[in-house]
Amino acid sequence: MTDPQHGKHVHAALAGDAEALSMLWRDHRRWVAAVLLAHMPNGSDLEDLLQDVAVTFCRNLRKLRDPGSFRAWLRAIAVNAARSAGRRRAVQQRVLVPLPEFVDAADPAPARAEHQRTTAERLERVLAILSSMQPDYREPMWLRAVQGLTQQQIAEALGLPVTTVETRLARGRRMLRQAMAPPPQSVGTPCRQKPGY
């Protein structure tokens, strides 16, 4: 996603170009999903919330005053949708996201199946650790990972100085590493390490 192209789409969509509107959404829907995942309570339906944001995005884009603040505006819609979901639903702890592409019980090659299983477990663990972080660290981590936004672009979307985003990403990565690291003594029953933050 290059910025000149992004700006062009925003202006065209504001002028009523339906194709630009669709393209703008396609460019940002994974990004919106990341914002929702960073803010929505466990147990919420991500697809439902995406639908809500999509409808609000279409209805309210013409109210956007400053095209330069498009990402911040879209993020605010997503955060509001996630918070509304939090008010509507009882928070229920559960496994975050199934990873079907890594779980293939019918795989005839045991070694490959084992590799996929451990990969799936590792990725699920990454998501679990990510969701257990404080929102200040969680959201920049989601946004950095989802679409390759630069630190500058993340800073603009979050309304923060770049140096703050830089520090939060570094801390978030440190937290992730510490939580992913194997426990010091691995004798006996494998323990589930709880992130220490």
Partner 1 sequence: MEVNRETILISKVVDRCETPAEWSELDTLAGNDSALWSRLRTMLRDDADLRAAVASAVAVADAVAVVPPLPVARVPWWSLGGWMAAAALAVLWLAGAPLPSTGTSPGGMSPGNGRAEFQAADPADDGHGREQRTALGELPPVLVRSQPTEDGSALRVVTMRRILEETVVRQVFQVDEDESGELRPVQVELARFAQPSDY
Residues that bind partner 1 (CB under 8 A): 18-19, 21-22, 25-26, 29-30, 32-34, 37, 46-47, 50-51, 54-55, 57-59, 96-97, 99, 101-102, 122-124, 126-127, 130, 141-142, 144-146, 150-151, 166-167, 169-171, 173-177, 180, 197
On whether the CB atoms of residues 42 and 131 are closer than 8 A, the answer is yes
27 versus 107: smaller Cβ distance to partner 1? 27
- What is the smallest separation between the CB atom of 116 and partner 1, expressed in angstroms? 12
In sequence order, the 6+-apart residues with CB closer than 8 A to the CB of 126 are: 176, 180
2 versus 189: smaller Cβ distance to partner 1? 2
- What is the smallest separation between the CB atom of 10 and partner 1, expressed in angstroms? 14
Cα 92 to Cα 26, 40, 58, 139, 197: the distances in Å are 30, 11, 31, 20, 21
27 versus 189: smaller Cβ distance to partner 1? 27
Apex 187 CA angle, 181 and 188, nearest 5: 115
Residue with tokens 């990972």, as numbered in its chain: 145
- What is the smallest separation between the CB atom of 46 and partner 1, expressed in angstroms? 6
CA-to-CA distance for 113 and 189, rounded, in angstroms?
23
CA-to-CA distance for 106 and 178, rounded, in angstroms?
34
111 versus 181: smaller Cβ distance to partner 1? 181
108 versus 122: smaller Cβ distance to partner 1? 122
112 versus 174: smaller Cβ distance to partner 1? 174
- What is the smallest separation between the CB atom of 188 and partner 1, expressed in angstroms? 25
- What is the smallest separation between the CB atom of 90 and partner 1, expressed in angstroms? 22
Six-digit token pair at 69? 């603040």
- The helix (run of H) or strand (run of E) holding residue 116 is helix 110-132
Q: Evaluate the CA torsion angle 31, 129, 141, 76 in order and state its sign.
A: positive
- What is the smallest separation between the CB atom of 40 and partner 1, expressed in angstroms? 12
